[in-house]
């Protein structure tokens, strides 16, 4: 019975993860479509870091699967998307490792140190998916060399904002 309960709990949290990710994507697409600007925040990476921190590494496959399904559903080229999905999953893993196990922050962000660590991780972690994703899309011919720096900076910037805005927001309800 305990195993059945654990599976039910995992599936329930996975569903919450999927719904949160979907809402995050819709928010980014809404900004792009209705405000006629490129989304300035990529919410899914921030959501993933916040939830994996709280619920554990066993939810990383959920993040990867949702990312792949999203790429397919929104018509992104799958082959160059796979390395960026792997990079984003690695980024989520490393961010949680740093925040939870190495730098040991309180997710309620009760000190200036905790806030500064989240900012530091937010600045550092997007380097991985933006570099691998940009290289992958460049190699596949999706972008050309003239747009390389702008593409990389854009990717890094939206992931950065997704981390530093969404992670604290998700953690804001945690009792101190």
The model's pLDDT over 117-145, given as tens digits with 9 standing for 90+, comes to 999 999 999 999 999 999 999 999 988 99
pLDDT of amino acid 38: 53
Q: What's the rounded mean pLDDT across residues 142-153? A: 91
| Closest by CA position to 42, among listed 124, 156, 159 | 159
**Rounded distance between C-alpha atoms, residue 22 and residue 120, angstroms:** 26
Q: Is the pTM of this model over 0.85?
A: yes
* HSE-up of residue 4 (Cα within 13 Å, Cβ side): 1
- Conformational region of residue 143, where left means phi above 0, alpha means psi within -120 to 50, and beta covers everything else: beta
Alpha helices in 35-77 (DSSP H): 43-55, 60-73
142 in helix, strand or coil? coil
Residue 80 has pLDDT above 70, yes or no: yes
**Rounded distance between C-alpha atoms, residue 65 and residue 15, angstroms:** 12
């Amino acid at each position: 019975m305990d195993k059945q309960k654990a599976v039910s709990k995992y599936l329930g949290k996975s569903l919450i993860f999927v719904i949160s990710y979907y809402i995050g994507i819709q928010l980014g697409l809404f900004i792009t479509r209705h405000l006629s600007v490129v989304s300035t925040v990529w919410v899914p990476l921030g959501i993933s870091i916040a939830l994996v921190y709280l619920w554990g590494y066993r939810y990383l496959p959920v993040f990867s699967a949702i990312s792949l399904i999203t790429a397919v559903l929104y018509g992104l080229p799958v082959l160059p998307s796979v390395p960026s999905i792997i990079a984003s999953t690695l980024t989520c893993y490393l961010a949680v490792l740093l925040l939870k196990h190495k730098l040991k922050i309180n997710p309620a962000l009760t000190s200036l140190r905790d806030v500064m660590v989240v900012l530091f991780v937010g600045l550092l972690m997007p380097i991985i998916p933006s570099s691998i994703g940009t290289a992958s899309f460049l190699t596949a011919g999706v972008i050309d060399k003239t747009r390389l720096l702008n593409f990389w900076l854009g990717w890094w910037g939206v992931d950065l904002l997704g981390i530093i805005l969404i992670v604290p927001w998700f953690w804001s309800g945690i009792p101190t």
